[in-house]
Amino acid sequence: MKLEVSPHDSERFGIKVGRCENFHLDDWPAILSSCKREEFRLLVLRVSTDELDTLQTILQAGGVFCETMVRYRRNLSKSEPLDWKEGYFLREACPDDLDALAAVSRQAFHDYQSHYQADEKLKAFSSSDIYCSWLSNMLIENSGKRRIVVVEKESELMGFGVSEINAANEGIGLLRGVLPSAQSLGMGISIVRDSINWSKEMKAKRYVCSCQITNKITQLQLSKLGMKYHDSFYTIHYWA
């Protein structure tokens, strides 16, 4: 079990928020102890869908079930880079893009029902505000292990994507968004293609991307790019 402070969530909600990405039932006593010792107010727990007993234990203790996510994976060591040729321009983001990125992310995530919106205590915080703030922070604090790209058509910024190399040497598609008016233009799948190519250039051994189980369009796109279903997990909020 690895329980970490979530700086962005803590700042956004004004309370100490922790995250545990691979939570098991045996971790429950240690989690409760950490909550008290480190004064966490909210924990965001990720639980494998194979562990129904873990889910039920947390819910019985007052946890809030928020969403089910599916994770797709592609082995990069055996795959060639994917080329893409579309009628728009993709480039790395720069600090000058901050305002335009904020505008696009607000539209892209308008009414998006994330795990935050599934929690009644957080409904006052819109998804567009949360993800806009997160994206802005990532652009300002960007590092060599992260890639942020924007997509333009006729000099108008219409989409973005964020990728990262994690500690397990995996390329991760962290976040992406496209203007509602441009969602039929194939920009989303091109952003994922770029993310896969970059991950391979960074010598990642595989590429991983997650989405909500109800997002059938994204799952179809990932399958077209040679990605296969790997696993699934629940997101649960626990208020201490």
| pLDDT for position 138 | 83
| pLDDT for position 85 | 62
Q: What is the pLDDT of residues 27-73, one digit of tens each?
A: 999 989 988 999 999 999 999 999 999 999 999 999 999 999 999 99
The DSSP secondary structure of the chain, one letter per residue, reads --EEE-HHHHHHHTS-EEEESS--GGGHHHHHHHHHHHT-SEEEEEEETT-HHHHHHHHHTT-EEEEEEEEEEEESTT-PPPP---SSEEEE--GGGHHHHHHHHHHHTTT---TTTTSGGGTTS-HHHHHHHHHHHHHHT--TTEEEEEEEETTEEEEEEEEEE-TTSEEEEEEEEE-GGGTTTTHHHHHHHHHHHHHHHTT-SEEEEEEETT-HHHHHHHHHTT-EEEEEEEEEEEE-
Q: Give the lowest-confidence range in 82-96, 139-153, 163-177, 187-201.
A: 82-96
Which residues of the chain form CATH 3.40.630.30? 75-232
| pLDDT for position 84 | 63
Q: Does domain 75-232 have CATH number 1.20.58.760?
A: no
With a cut of 80, say whether residue 87 has pLDDT above it. Answer: no
Q: Region 87-113: what's the mean pLDDT?
A: 89
Q: Region 162-180: what's the mean pLDDT?
A: 94
Q: What is the pLDDT of residues 111-132, one digit of tens each?
A: 788 999 899 999 888 887 888 8
